[in-house]
């Protein structure tokens, strides 16, 4: 894996930033359709916030890796353009809030000075490639998955096959069968495996497909127990191409990969993916296994007097993990709600340079790992972290709750998730202090059903909701139980139990824990206890807390709020002028054809073919929309264009439209084919544009 380098001189990065500035201007002038502008800005990490007129910026950090220089850079950017707060997400990204739309290109340019990108951090793209934060130091790993996750990041970033899909696509690499990256809840998940042939180690991965959370969680299905390392990128590209072509594009709640697989079946899906291999740029792809040797400071610091001996002992027991490298440990850092202020972040970065490898990893539990710390320096590290408020014991324990921002900033939030998180952690600290040693029970909270806080895979999960009480509406929590990974790419989705007023969340937690401590059998884990007792048992246990008979005025006020609760969804930005969506789609088609031409000139023949393919589809989609025909999938667009325009002769083609377009997966992506396919896409776009002009002029379109 190559090291980080400054990317601002990269012409692709420059083009991206200039293009974002230009599209913002056109949007403000009312020359780009709102939906198209939303798609473009989301694919560049710019997300409309709950508060009107400001944006959330998501910074893409593959597998959560971060250097100290990048942390300094992000902190400076947050101070200049945002609020001086860094929010760590469950996908190992960092988010900044309250950013002006007009300043986002400038912000992006500043980040790229230290190779930090916003590209494809949001939107219908391949999202951040996540990975086990212990990768490379995990004593139980067959090999380090870091270079594989990094190769995926580089391969799919700006890749034409994943720029405008029907929905987002998520992938994860776990470092071992423990599946700490939660492969089981991803569109594609990878678990490292080795086998030996004639005494030689062969590397590969168990692959799982079609997982996801949201309102209808689905556990990924096994594709194979061993896929050779040289085949994982081609396989992933085949899967993404089929998802792009056949995936739902209109009904967002049915547009994830899991629904497509449920509709056509795993075997049929994999058969389509196998047929796509001919069209791939790479039939095999050899990943560079090499990683840079960590540069670890050699200084041994004198052991200071420990200011809080009890806290230090707890910290040693709960926040320190042995590495496979002798003499070194990894330090886990709890970050409440995933929020860290920039002054703290800078002092933390300075400490990393003193005592650890310049290889910070953000975790999918919203924490931080400090790697390659010499055991002799632990007293010094503790005192330094403690002075920053970063030495709280109980890393990834019951008391370390995962939560999304909820109604603080998110458009989709229904009720507060950050305030209830702080309250539950307070309850655990004061009433159940020994649970800082328990890593079996996980607690995760989301502000809505969409599961950014991963509540659907928690032993104890909550998601924000609301409930009608008389003529008023109160903030509520849906309680879910029994979820989590079961190892080796498998897992269990938590089950919905009951909905309670939000202010009763602490009592729900007390009731569940006290019942478990009182009635569980010796050595019985929480999910084992849940499975033995069953869903109805827990519904009956919690039902008194859902009763509306003893409602108080406080139940109508959300956590850390003073005003009465209002079940409102935040307002996103909108264009001041309604734009012709058909014209926008035709413009997008022309743009893709231009990109195809540029890729052809650069010798990127597979990219040229895919851009030309998208030009075909967008052109056809535009004219179908002009006739009021639904365009749910790319495959449907191709089929419906044939029926409406090609077969009727309204638009004359040398062969059927499907034959024309589906050359994409019947030809090698050679220079000759790319040139011919681009010419055909350009000619088709001209025909459609002429047809549209006649439509707008009110002329009768005669059959050819």
Could you tell me how many residues make up the chain?
Answer: 704
pTM over 0.95: no
Query: For the chain, where do the domains classified as CATH 3.30.413.10 start and end?
Result: 124-289, 402-556
Sheet holding 460-469, edge to edge: 402-403, 443-446, 460-469, 472-481, 495-501
pLDDT at 6: 44
The mean predicted confidence, pLDDT, of the chain is: 92
SS3 at position 632: coil
pLDDT at 415: 86
Dump pLDDT digits (tens) for 675-688: 999 999 999 999 99
- Whether 205 and 232 have beta carbons less than 8 Å apart is answered as yes
SS3 at position 582: helix
Per the structure block, which two tokens stand in for 463? 């998601």
Does residue 617 surpass a pLDDT of 90? yes
Output the CA torsion 139→403→340→433 (10° steps). -70
Q: If you average pLDDT over residues 203-224, what whole number do you get?
A: 95
**CA nearest neighbour of 414 among 456, 365, 467, 459:** 467
pLDDT at 407: 85
Q: How many CB atoms lie within 10 A of CB 312?
A: 18
All residues at 6 or more sequence positions from 7 whose CB lies less than 8 Å from its CB, including other chains = 13, 112, 115, 117
Between 2 and 32, name the one with better pLDDT.
32
At the topology level of CATH, where does 309-387 sit?
Sulfite Reductase Hemoprotein; domain 2 (3.90.480)
With tokens 């007009």, the residue in question is 102
pLDDT at 4: 38
pLDDT at 104: 94
DSSP 126: B
Query: For the chain, where do the domains classified as CATH 3.90.480.10 start and end?
Result: 309-387
pLDDT at 377: 98
Dump pLDDT digits (tens) for 175-200: 999 999 999 999 999 999 999 999 99
Domain 581-697: assigned CATH number: 1.20.120.330
Query: Helix 671-697 vs helix 581-601: angle between axes, to the nearest 10 degrees?
Result: 160
CA dist list (Å): 558 to 87, 90, 400, 554? 22, 24, 22, 8
Query: For the chain, where do the domains classified as CATH 1.20.120.330 start and end?
Result: 581-697
Alpha helices, H only, 580-655 = 581-601, 605-626, 634-641
55-89 as b/e: b if 16+ CB within 10 A: bbbbbbbbbbbbbbbbbbbbbbbbeebbeebbbbb
Does residue 570 surpass a pLDDT of 60? no
**CA nearest neighbour of 182 among 192, 195, 194, 173:** 173
Per the structure block, which two tokens stand in for 491? 């897992």
What distance in Å separates the CA atoms of residue 664 and residue 676, rounded to the nearest whole number?
11
What CATH number does domain 124-289 carry, 3.30.460.80, 3.30.565.10, 2.40.40.20, 3.30.413.10?
3.30.413.10
**Following DSSP, what letter does each residue of 169-228 receive, concatenated?**
B-EEE-SSTT-TT-GGGSSEEEEEEEEEETTEEEEEEEEEE--B-TTS-BPPEEEEEEEE
- Whether 400 and 367 have beta carbons less than 8 Å apart is answered as yes
Output the CA torsion 573→575→578→581 (10° steps). -80
**CA nearest neighbour of 613 among 555, 576, 668, 660:** 660
What distance in Å separates the CA atoms of residue 563 and residue 460, rounded to the nearest whole number?
29
With tokens 């894996």, the residue in question is 1
What distance in Å separates the CA atoms of residue 329 and residue 319, rounded to the nearest whole number?
10
Please calculate the CA angle 187-193-196 and round it to the nearest 5 degrees: 150
At the topology level of CATH, where does 402-556 sit?
Sulfite Reductase Hemoprotein; domain 1 (3.30.413)
CA 375 to chain centre: 34
What distance in Å separates the CA atoms of residue 216 and residue 227, rounded to the nearest whole number?
29
pLDDT at 580: 60
List phi, psi (to 5°) of 486.
Answer: -115, 5
**CA nearest neighbour of 92 among 17, 181, 1:** 181
List phi, psi (to 5°) of 359.
Answer: -150, 70
Dump pLDDT digits (tens) for 407-426: 888 888 888 999 999 999 99
pLDDT at 19: 85
SS3 at position 669: coil
Q: What is the largest CA-CA distance in the chain?
A: 90
What distance in Å separates the CA atoms of residue 483 and residue 535, rounded to the nearest whole number?
12
Q: Long-range pairs for 195-198 at CB < 8 Å and ≥24 separation?
A: 195/226
What distance in Å separates the CA atoms of residue 421 and residue 440, rounded to the nearest whole number?
18
Dump pLDDT digits (tens) for 479-508: 999 999 999 999 999 999 999 999 999 999
């Amino acid at each position: 894996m190559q090291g980080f380098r400054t990317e601002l001189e990269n012409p692709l990065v420059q083009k991206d930033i200039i293009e974002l500035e230009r599209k913002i201007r056109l949007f403000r002038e009312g020359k780009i359709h709102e939906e198209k502008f939303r798609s473009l800005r989301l694919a560049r990490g710019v997300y409309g916030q709950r508060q009107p007129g400001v944006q959330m910026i998501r910074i893409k950090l593959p597998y959560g890796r971060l250097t100290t220089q990048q942390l300094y850079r992000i902190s400076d950017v947050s101070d200049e353009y945002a609020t001086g707060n860094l929010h760590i997400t469950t996908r190992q990204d960092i988010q900044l809030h309250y950013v002006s739309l007009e300043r986002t290109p400038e912000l992006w340019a500043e980040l790229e000075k230290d190779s930090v990108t916003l590209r494809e951090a949001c939107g219908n793209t391949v999202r951040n490639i996540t990975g086990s934060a212990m990768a490379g130091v995990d004593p139980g790993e067959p090999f380090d998955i870091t270079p594989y996750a990094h190769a995926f990041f580089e391969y799919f970033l700006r890749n034409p096959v994943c720029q405008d899909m029907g929905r987002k696509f998520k992938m994860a690499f776990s470092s071992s069968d423990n599946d700490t990256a939660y492969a089981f809840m991803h569109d594609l998940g990878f678990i490292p495996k080795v086998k030996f042939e004639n005494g030689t180690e062969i590397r590969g991965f168990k692959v799982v497909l079609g997982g996801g959370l949201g309102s209808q969680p689905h556990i990924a299905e096994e594709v194979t127990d061993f896929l050779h390392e040289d085949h994982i990128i081609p396989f992933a590209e085949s899967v993404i191409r089929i998802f792009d072509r056949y995936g739902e594009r209109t009904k967002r709640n049915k547009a994830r990969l899991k629904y497509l697989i449920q509709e056509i079946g795993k075997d049929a899906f994999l058969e389509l993916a196998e047929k796509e291999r001919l069209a791939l740029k790479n039939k095999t792809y050899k990943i560079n296994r090499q990683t840079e040797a960590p540069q670890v400071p050699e200084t041994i610091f004198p052991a200071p007097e420990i200011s809080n001996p009890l806290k230090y002992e707890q910290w040693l027991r709960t926040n320190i993990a042995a590495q496979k490298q002798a003499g070194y440990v990894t330090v886990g850092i709890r970050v409440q709600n995933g929020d860290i202020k920039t002054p703290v972040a800078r002092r933390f970065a300075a400490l990393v340079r003193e005592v650890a490898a310049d290889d910070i990893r953000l975790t999918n539990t919203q924490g931080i790992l400090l790697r390659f710390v010499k055991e002799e320096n632990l007293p010094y590290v503790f005192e330094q972290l403690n002075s920053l408020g970063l030495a709280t014991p109980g890393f990834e324990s019951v008391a370390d709750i995962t939560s999304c921002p909820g109604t603080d900033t998110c458009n989709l939030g229904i009720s507060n998730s950050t305030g209830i998180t702080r309250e539950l952690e307070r309850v655990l600290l004061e009433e159940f202090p020994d649970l800082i040693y328990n890593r079996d029970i996980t607690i995760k909270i989301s502000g809505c059903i969409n599961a950014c806080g991963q509540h659907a895979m928690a032993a104890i999960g909550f998601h924000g909701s609301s409930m009608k009480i008389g003529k008023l509406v109160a903030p509520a929590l849906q309680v879910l139980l029994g979820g989590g990974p079961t190892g080796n790419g498998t897992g269990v989705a938590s089950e919905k139990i009951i909905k309670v007023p939000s202010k009763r969340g602490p009592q729900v937690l007390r009731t569940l824990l006290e019942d478990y401590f009182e009635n569980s059998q010796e050595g019985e884990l929480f999910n084992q206890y849940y499975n033995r007792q069953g869903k109805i048992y827990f519904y009956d246990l919690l039902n008194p807390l859902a009763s509306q008979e003893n409602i108080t005025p406080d139940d109508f006020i959300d956590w850390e709020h003073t005003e009465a609760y209002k079940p409102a969804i935040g307002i996103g930005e909108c264009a001041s002028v309604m734009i012709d969506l058909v014209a926008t789609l035709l413009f997008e088609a022309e743009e893709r054809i231009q990109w195809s031409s540029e890729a052809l000139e650069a010798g990127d023949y597979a990219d040229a073919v895919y851009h030309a393919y998208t030009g075909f589809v967008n052109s056809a989609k535009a004219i179908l929309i002009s006739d009021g025909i639904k365009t749910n999938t790319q495959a449907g667009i191709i089929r419906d264009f044939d029926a409406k325009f090609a077969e009727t002769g309204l638009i004359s083609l040398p062969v059927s439209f499907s034959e024309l377009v589906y050359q994409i997966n019947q030809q090698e992506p050679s220079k000759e084919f790319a040139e011919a396919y681009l010419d055909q896409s350009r000619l088709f776009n001209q025909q459609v544009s002429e047809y549209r002009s006649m439509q707008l002029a009110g002329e009768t379109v005669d059959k050819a």
